[in-house]
Structure 1
Amino acid sequence: MSLPFTSAPTHICLLRLSAVGDVCHALPVVRTIQAQWPETNITWIIGRLEASLIGDIPDVEFIIFDKSRGIAAYRELNAQMKGRRFDVLLHMQMSLRASLISLLVPTKIRLGFDRERAKDLQWLFTNHKIAHQPQQHVVDSFFCFAEAIGIKERTLKWDIPIPVEAEQFCDQHIENDGRRLLLISPCSSMRYRNWNVAGYAAVADYAVNKHNMQVIISGGPAAIEQQYGEEISQLCQHKPLNLVGKTNLKQLLALLHRAAVVVAPDSGPAHIATTVNTPVIGLYATTNPDRARPYLSAEYVANRYPEAIQSKHHKSVAALPWGTRVRDEGTMDLITSDEVCALLDKALTK
C-alpha cells in the first residue's frame, strides 16, 4: 500500500506518548479514523499517565510505554511488537525518545511531520511527511495525518469514558444546590505559564459575588501546585474548595464535565475540559493561543501574547517563527483580573 490509501488499511499504529493536552489533541484523529474506516484496527503507543485518562476507550489497543522503566520499557515494547505488521505508523511526537520507539514498530510507511516542523530530528525517522502548513493549531496539525493517509472529512469528537467512581467523587464534593461551578486549574507544567495568585483569587471572589457560583481549585500533587492552591484559598474572601492533589485524571475529567466554566493557563486540564465541551477561559501571554488555545474556546481567550512578544523581541508575532515562546518571569502578569472576569461574564451568558 502507498499513501494516500485508496481503501481502508488493516492496522494503523499511532505514536503519541505525551503530554496529556497533546494526547487530547490527537484523539479526534483516532475518532476520525474510526468513523471513516470502522474495520481498521488501531494501536496507540502512549505514556502511562496519559493512558490513565483515555486508555479505556473502546476499540483501540493501547500499549503503554512507561519511561520510568528505562531500557526495560524498550525491551517490553519490542517484545510486544514481535510478529506484528502495521500498514502505517503515525509518528505524531517530536522527541528523540518517541523516534527511538518508532524504530520498534514494524511497518514500511512511517508518516511524520514535514521537514520544517520536524523538531528533534524527527524527519530522520520517517519516510513520508504530512503537508507543510506554516501556521496551525496543534489539533489541525494532527488532522494533517488523517488527510495524508486519505481521510478528508474530520470527526471532531472525543467521547472519553467517565467511570461511575469518578462521578461519585463529584457527588461527594460538589454542593447539590443548583449553583453553577467554576473550576480554576491554576498551574501549567511550565512555571512561566502560570498566572499570579492574586488574579485567580480575584476571579474566584467575583464568581461568587456576581454569579453566586461554587468555586473549586484543582491541580496535581506537585509542591508548586499545592502552594498555589493554598495561597489562592487564603486570599479569597469566599473560601473555594481546594482539591489540589486530591484527584486522578478521571476524577478531574468528571469535575471538568460538570463545570460551567474553567479558568486555566495553557495546560492539560484546559485541553481535557475541551474534550467534554466545557468553555475554557484560557490565559495566554507566554504561548501563542492561535497554536495552543483550548480548541473550542477561541472567544474566551485572555490574549496578551502579542504584547509579550513585542516587549521581549520588539517585533510583531508575524515577524517571528510560529510558536515562539516568552519564558520571562512575570509575563503572565500582563493579564488582568478585570479582563478575565469580563470573559467569565461572557461565557456564562452564552
Structure 2
Amino acid sequence: MVKILVDGLMHVGDILIASSVLPVLKKAYPESQITYLTYGNLCAAAQMLEGVDDVYAYDYKSGGGFLQGIRVARELRKRHYDIGISLDPRERITLIKWGAGIPVRLSLERALGWNLGWERWFYTADLPLVGWDVTKHRMAESFQEILRRYFHDEEKTFIPGRFKPSAAEDVQAVKEMLAAACAGRAPGKKRIAFGVQTTMQYRDWPVEKFSALADRLVETYGADIVLTGIASHRERGVQIAAGMRHPEAVVDLIGKTSFLQLIALFREVDALVSLDTGSAHIAAAASCPVVTIFTFNSPEVYGAAVESSRTVSLHVPCSGKAICRRPGECKNSFCLDGITVAQVFQALTEVL
C-alpha cells in the first residue's frame, strides 16, 4: 500500500479547490492511504473529502516555530510516507516534509501561477505546467492537470473533488431545522440559500440588492430564502430580511449549523447564491448548484468546481488578485456596486 501525504495549509475554500488532486491519486494508486495535513480548524473539511483516509492537524504558530517544525517532522517520519505532495509549498512545510524523510516529494505550486525559490531544492520534482494558462482555467482544473501529467494520465474530463455522504444525524438535524423554521407556512417551490457576508467588506454585495434578489425569487419561484453563515453574519441577515417585501419567506439559519450540518444543508437546497468565499466551494463539494458573485478576484480561476455553477463579474480591467489595489487605496467600488440584481437572477435561473 502506498502512503501519501497531501499538505494544504490554506483557507477552507482553497482546500476544496485543491481536492481535485484526490481523484487522480486514487486512480494512480487505488490501494493508497491518503493523509491530508492542514490546520487543526480545517480538519473537519479535509476529513469529509472523498479519497481522504486520515488527517493530520498542524497547529501552526507564527514566530519561534523552528522547534515545532522539528517535532512535526519527527512525528511524520514515524508514519513512513512514500509520497509527499505540496499544494501550497510554504517554507516551513517544505522543510518539514524534507525532514520527515519522505522519498518522493512533489511540488504543485505552478498550478497556483507562481514559481518556487530556494524551496525547489527540497523537492524531488517541481512539477511543470507548460502550455497551460492558469489564468484561463479554474484552479481546481490546474491542480488536476499538473498531477495528471506527472502520472501520464490521459484523461481529459475534469473530475471535481467531492464530500463524502453526510452522516444521518447531520441530515436529520438539518431537516428538523428547516421544518421548524417553515412551520405554519406553505412549502416553497424552491429553497435558495444565500451566503451573505465574507471576512472582507470589499467582497460584500450591498444588502439592498440581496433583499431585491430574494423578493424576485419569492415572486418568481415561490422560493424559501435560506440565510447561511456564522453568528457574526447575523446583523447582515437581519438587514436583508428587513429590506424585503416578503420577509416571511426567510429561513434564518445564520449561526445555527455546524460545519458538517452546513454540508448537509447544501444538499437539501436547490442552489446557493454566494459571495467570493469558502461557502461557494463547500456547496460545490456537496454537489449543490452555485452562483458566485465576484468583485476583484478572477472568476475564471476561483469559480466553484461544480458543473452546475455560474459566476457573475463585471471583469473590470483592474480586477484580478495580482493587480487589484483593494479599498483603502482604490476609491472605485464599481466592480462591486455595478453588479445588478438582474445579472445574478439570470445566472441563478440558468442553474435552476
Q: TM-score, normalised by structure 1?
A: 0.82
How far apart are the structure 2 equivalents of 1:138 and 1:248? Answer: 27
Contact 1:95 1:119 in 2 (8 A): no
How many Å apart are 1:226 and its aligned residue? 2.8
Query: Does structure 1 residue 90 correspond to structure 2 residue 85?
Result: yes
For 1:298-350, what per-residue CA distance to the aligned partner results, in whole angstroms no more than 9, with x for missing partners? 7622121x22x2xx4xxxx7xxx8854452363311211121122222222xx
How many Å apart are 1:86 and its aligned residue? 2.7
How many Å apart are 1:27 and its aligned residue? 2.0
SS of the aligned residue for 1:32 comes to helix
SS of the aligned residue for 2:19 comes to helix
How far apart are the structure 2 equivalents of 1:92 and 1:121? Answer: 17
* Aligned twin of 1:66: 59
Residue in structure 2 matching 1:80, options 71, 75, 78: 75
Residue in structure 2 matching 1:334, options 320, 335, 338: 338
How far apart are the structure 1 equivalents of 2:33 and 2:254? Answer: 38
* Aligned twin of 2:126: 129
* Aligned twin of 1:344: 348
The 10-residue stretch of structure 1 (328-337 or 190-199) with the greater mean CA deviation from structure 2: 328-337
For 1:247-302, what per-residue CA distance to the aligned partner results, in whole angstroms no more than 9, with x for missing partners? 22111111111111110122111011111222111111211111001122576221
How far apart are the structure 2 equivalents of 1:110 and 1:204? Answer: 49
Query: Does structure 1 residue 259 correspond to structure 2 residue 260?
Result: no
SS of the aligned residue for 2:342 comes to helix
* Aligned twin of 1:140: 141
How far apart are the structure 2 equivalents of 1:59 and 1:53? Answer: 10
Contact 1:15 1:102 in 2 (8 A): no
How far apart are the structure 2 equivalents of 1:131 and 1:274? Answer: 28
Residue in structure 2 matching 1:117, options 114, 117, 139: 114
Contact 1:31 1:158 in 2 (8 A): no
How many Å apart are 1:131 and its aligned residue? 1.8
Residue in structure 2 matching 1:170, options 144, 167, 174: 174
Sort the Cα spacing of 1:243 and 1:302 in 2 relative to 1 into closer, same or farther, 3 A.
Answer: same
Contact 1:217 1:229 in 2 (8 A): yes
Contact 2:195 2:227 in 1 (8 A): yes
The 10-residue stretch of structure 1 (121-130 or 14-23) with the greater mean CA deviation from structure 2: 121-130
The 10-residue stretch of structure 1 (331-340 or 188-197) with the greater mean CA deviation from structure 2: 188-197
How far apart are the structure 1 equivalents of 2:117 and 2:200? Answer: 20
Sort the Cα spacing of 1:54 and 1:127 in 2 relative to 1 into closer, same or farther, 3 A.
Answer: closer
Contact 1:54 1:160 in 2 (8 A): no
How far apart are the structure 2 equivalents of 1:200 and 1:39? Answer: 47
What code does the residue aligned with 1:35 have? Answer: K
How many Å apart are 1:26 and its aligned residue? 2.2
For 1:183-205, what per-residue CA distance to the aligned partner results, in whole angstroms no more than 9, with x for missing partners? 00022333322211111111111
Query: Does structure 1 residue 237 correspond to structure 2 residue 245?
Result: yes
SS of the aligned residue for 1:300 comes to strand
Q: TM-score, normalised by structure 2?
A: 0.82
Contact 2:160 2:306 in 1 (8 A): no
**Alignment RMSD (CA, Å):** 2.9
* Aligned twin of 1:4: none
Contact 2:46 2:55 in 1 (8 A): no
How many Å apart are 1:236 and its aligned residue? 1.9
Query: Does structure 1 residue 212 correspond to structure 2 residue 214?
Result: no
Contact 2:215 2:246 in 1 (8 A): yes
The 10-residue stretch of structure 1 (91-100 or 44-53) with the greater mean CA deviation from structure 2: 91-100
SS of the aligned residue for 1:77 comes to helix
Contact 1:89 1:109 in 2 (8 A): yes
How many Å apart are 1:56 and its aligned residue? 4.8
Counting only pairs closer than 5 Å after superposition, residues 95-110 of structure 1 correspond to structure 2 as 95-110=90-105
Contact 2:190 2:223 in 1 (8 A): yes
How far apart are the structure 2 equivalents of 1:120 and 1:273? Answer: 35
Residue ranges of structure 2 left out of the alignment (5+ in a row): none
Contact 2:140 2:160 in 1 (8 A): no
How far apart are the structure 1 equivalents of 2:246 and 2:29? Answer: 51
Sort the Cα spacing of 1:198 and 1:302 in 2 relative to 1 into closer, same or farther, 3 A.
Answer: same
For 1:161-189, what per-residue CA distance to the aligned partner results, in whole angstroms no more than 9, with x for missing partners? 31122212211222473632100002233
* Aligned twin of 2:298: 288
What code does the residue aligned with 2:348 have? Answer: L
* Count of matched residue pairs: 327
How far apart are the structure 2 equivalents of 1:193 and 1:124? Answer: 38
* Aligned twin of 1:5: none
